[in-house]
A and B are shown apart, each in its own frame.
Chain A
Amino acid sequence: MRTIEQTTQEILDLASKHFNVPAGTLSPDDDFFRKLGIDSLQTLEMLSHLENHFGIELPDYEVQGVSDFRTLASRIQSRL
């Protein structure tokens, strides 16, 4: 079982890889819309990648209004 810290780090790594952001420049409290420069549609794409990576289903309502990696990590962690 992953710790919340591991989950958070894996999300940051995946996001930086998927959106070509240099590794290590993202932090848990970053607003991913702003930091990655993505729109709501690209966020949905990111969520699909995260679901595949963690092997979970994340209903749309769980991520409604979420805009920082830390909160996203806690929502994912609760479904692992």
Chain B
Amino acid sequence: MLNLANYPSIGAALKDALDQFASEVCLIESDREREKERLTYRDFQQRAHPLARALQDSGFKAGDRAAIIMTNQSKWLISAYAIFYAGGVLVPLDYKLTSTEHWQLLQHSGVTRLVTEFPIWRQLAASPVPGTVSNLVTILVTEAPPNADLSGAQRWEEFRTEASPAFVPRTRKDPATIVYSSGTGGRPKGCVMTHENYLEQCVALTSLYPFAPGFRYLSILPTNHAIDFMVGFFGPFICGATVVHLRTLRPEFVREAFTKYKITYVSLVPLVLKNLQKGLQARFDELPARKRRVFDALVAINKTFTKSRPRLGLSRRLLRQVHDNFGGELQAIIVGGAFTEPQTLQFFYDLGIPVANGYGLTEAGTAITVNDLHPFRADTVGKPLPGMEVRVVDPDADGIGQVTVRSKTVMSGYLNEPELTAEAIVDGWLMTGDLGRFDRDGHLQLFGRKKNMIVTEEGKNIYPEDIEAVFDSLPVKEFCVFAANYVWPQRSMVGEQLVLVIHFEPGQTLTEELRRDIVLRNGRLLNYKRVHGILVFDEDFPRTASLKIKRSVLAERLAQLDRSKAVQSL
């Protein structure tokens, strides 16, 4: 692993990594049963340099911004490296957003270059551009079919200049990326992350979960996500490890990848981890009685010997068949993006598969706490990573208060949002909006949120304000959307739901027609953004002088209602 203390930027560290690990395999790209690419670090460099040079020839310079909207694949990482090499600021966007949302963020981020896939570009080009994205001067699309209408874009594969690019140095405090943690509605939250944020986070994470040449990381979470960017790109690259990309995420091909590539680490969101658990449990339940007794006995032995720490060698021998299904070399499953239920974590640990459970948010530079597995604790999100100062402020009688963080990994602020930044970072401490408490062993436990938002099991942050537009012109007097757990705190991070609160005109009622209208509008949202229930409120919403809804005051009033009676399922 490179000594990151010596490096001022992501680009500088990656540049040296490509030289140092030149003959190691850095990327494998698989499409179903076919292997599309296998690149060494030298190959990677040879692909990226002509792109970096072509970017520079097009006028791209230090501090310029470039967006990537792509599914996980080698061209994602090659493009990102070329952008860093040329001194640019990367804006990684979620490919699952709608075209309208993509245009909004392209506009908000002020990018001058866009790298995307042809199918995504085809949809973007066909959708109306809200306002103007006048600063977008180069659009590169990958894998466009021959004779395809590129609508003003250029082919990524042909955008290359063979002359050597000039490496553009950046300092630790310069912005490296702008990562949207949420918000495509009213106020997009673009977290400006510095090179220092990533360098420090990488040192902290790899101290607990190291990579090395020969390690293979299966990259399933979207690389625009802070977790995969760190453990599916920067982390493995500066250690000379291999990243495996799958072009389709159908469960059968994901399962096959574990055994085919003998995966060392994988990151999953809780939804996928729970699905894996369900599949394994079903298979265990199908075992004949005698085999099941033997299996249960082996699990019990494994639990006894792994109480204080994981013993991978022993677990693999005891429960060979289970481990063989994961390739036999899996060291840990990294789970993140949302809260994971303790019983799911315990299920895997009991099988001898450590789950690196942690807690973090984009604003903090990925992870704040991680379970160090010494011993494994399913009931907490672990201890603060090295270099993280974590405090719980304004605790209640039970010691539960808001989790705050101070670290070199915390973002410099939200792009173009000084007010939001000042609310989020107070005297150098990041206000996470999450409620927690430390136990006697220094482990952090989470108990809900102080902020009006939910995080889905797929790791998506949903802010009610961002989805309200779909209900605009709903024929009611007024409406707004709340996170149910914000109104009625549950001291839980699971099963979070959104509720549409409506206030009728005098004499109006919830007719079938209105309900159908709400269902129809709700259906226009991506499935994970949809509201789950309706609450009919019979008072005027409290508003500011400028007629904005006073959400916290309204939430307090709603909290007086019995949730189980007041909220109707949608």
Judge whether A65 is part of the interface by a CB distance below 8 angstroms: yes
Asked if residues A44 and B250 are in contact (CB atoms below 8 Å), the reply is yes
A70 to B66, CA, bound (A): 36
- Residue on B nearest A65 in the bound complex, by CB: B98
Size range of the interface on A? 10 to 19
A42 to B458, CA, bound (A): 13
Asked if residues B271 and A39 are in contact (CB atoms below 8 Å), the reply is yes
Asked if residues B32 and A61 are in contact (CB atoms below 8 Å), the reply is no
Asked if residues B527 and A40 are in contact (CB atoms below 8 Å), the reply is yes
Q: Which B residues are CB-close (under 8 A) to A64?
A: 95-96, 119
Q: Which of A40, A48, A61 contacts B117 (CB 8 A)?
A: A61
Q: Which A residues are CB-close (under 8 A) to B275?
A: 41
A3 to B222, CA, bound (A): 36
Q: Which B residues are CB-close (under 8 A) to A44?
A: 249-251
Judge whether B528 is part of the interface by a CB distance below 8 angstroms: yes
- Residue on A nearest B246 in the bound complex, by CB: A60
Q: Which B residues are CB-close (under 8 A) to A65?
A: 96, 98, 526
Q: Which A residues are CB-close (under 8 A) to B119?
A: 59, 61-62, 64
Scan B522-564; emit 1 where CB is below 8 A from any A CB, else 0: 0100111000000000000000000000000000000000000
Judge whether B120 is part of the interface by a CB distance below 8 angstroms: yes
A3 to B271, CA, bound (A): 36
Judge whether A76 is part of the interface by a CB distance below 8 angstroms: no
Asked if residues A57 and B250 are in contact (CB atoms below 8 Å), the reply is no
- Given contacts A41-B271, A41-B275, whether A67 and B527 have CB atoms under 8 Å apart is yes
- Residue on A nearest B97 in the bound complex, by CB: A65
Asked if residues B120 and A47 are in contact (CB atoms below 8 Å), the reply is no
Asked if residues A48 and B252 are in contact (CB atoms below 8 Å), the reply is yes
A34 to B523, CA, bound (A): 8
Scan B237-251; emit 1 where CB is below 8 A from any A CB, else 0: 000000000011111
Size range of the interface on B? 20 to 34
Q: Which B residues are CB-close (under 8 A) to A61?
A: 71, 117, 119-120
- Given contacts A61-B71, A64-B95, whether A41 and B526 have CB atoms under 8 Å apart is no
- Given contacts A48-B252, A60-B247, A61-B117, whether A40 and B528 have CB atoms under 8 Å apart is yes
Interface residues of B in 42-89 (CB under 8 A from A): 71
Q: Which B residues are CB-close (under 8 A) to A33?
A: 527
Scan B255-293; emit 1 where CB is below 8 A from any A CB, else 0: 000000000000000011001000000000000000000
A57 to B251, CA, bound (A): 15
Asked if residues A48 and B527 are in contact (CB atoms below 8 Å), the reply is no
The CB with the most chain B CB atoms within 10 A, among A41, A44, A67, is that of A41
A34 to B530, CA, bound (A): 10
Q: What are the 10 A-B residue pairs with the smallest beta carbon separation, nearest first?
A: A33-B527, A61-B119, A31-B523, A48-B250, A44-B250, A41-B275, A60-B248, A45-B251, A48-B252, A41-B271
Q: List B residues at the A interface (Cβ < 8 Å).
A: 32, 71, 95-96, 98, 117, 119-120, 247-252, 271-272, 275, 457-458, 523, 526-528
Interface CB pairs A-B, < 8 A, 30: A31-B523, A33-B527, A34-B523, A39-B271, A39-B457, A39-B458, A39-B527, A40-B527, A41-B251, A41-B271, A44-B251, A45-B250, A45-B251, A48-B251, A48-B252, A57-B32, A59-B119, A59-B248, A60-B71, A60-B248, A60-B250, A61-B71, A61-B120, A62-B119, A64-B119, A65-B96, A65-B98, A65-B526, A67-B523, A67-B527
